[in-house]
């Protein structure tokens, strides 16, 4: 299992268009901060019915698919979140086996 690949996965999760998904309009930034839990496909605060909900659920599905493709068991992932808001670049943080892999580092 090559956990060093998690850094690239974190980068791809927030680089839409060149990363995990190809959306013609780019990343969706809400007017307030949200936390996207990639393991559960949930958002805090809940964005039921919003375009952001569909967008980030697609990224969560992609995240699980790429873990499987890279043969990284989901059980080794302690936390996988995207933090996004109106004024800063989205940051994907993945914690696995005591290490942190971030798209902003």
Average pLDDT over residues 77-91: 87
pLDDT digits (tens, 9 = 90+) for 17-62: 545 554 544 556 667 888 999 999 888 887 676 677 778 888 899 9
Q: How far is CA 83 from CA 70, 72, 73, in A?
A: 24, 22, 23
* Cα distance between residue 82 and residue 62, in whole Å: 13
Name the residue range of residue 23's domain.
5-102
Strands of the sheet containing 34-37, edge to edge, are: 42-44, 34-37, 77-84, 91-96, 99-102
Distances (CA, A) of 41 to 2, 3, 58, 87, 96: 24, 21, 9, 23, 18
Mean of all residue pLDDT scores within the chain: 83
How many structural domains are present in the chain?
Answer: 1
Token pair for 87: 């004024």
**pLDDT at residue number 27:** 59
Are 13 and 7 in contact by the 8 Å Cβ rule? The answer is no
């Amino acid at each position: 299992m090559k956990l060093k690949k998690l850094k690239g996965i974190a980068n791809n999760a927030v680089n839409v268009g060149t990363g995990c998904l190809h959306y013609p309009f780019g990343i969706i930034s809400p007017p307030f901060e949200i936390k996207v839990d990639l393991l559960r496909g949930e958002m805090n605060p809940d964005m039921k019915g919003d375009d952001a909900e569909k967008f980030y659920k697609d990224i969560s599905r992609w995240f699980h698919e790429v873990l499987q493709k890279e043969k990284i068991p989901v059980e080794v992932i302690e936390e996988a979140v995207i933090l996004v808001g109106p004024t800063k670049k989205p940051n994907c943080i993945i914690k696995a086996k005591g290490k942190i892999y971030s798209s902003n580092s």
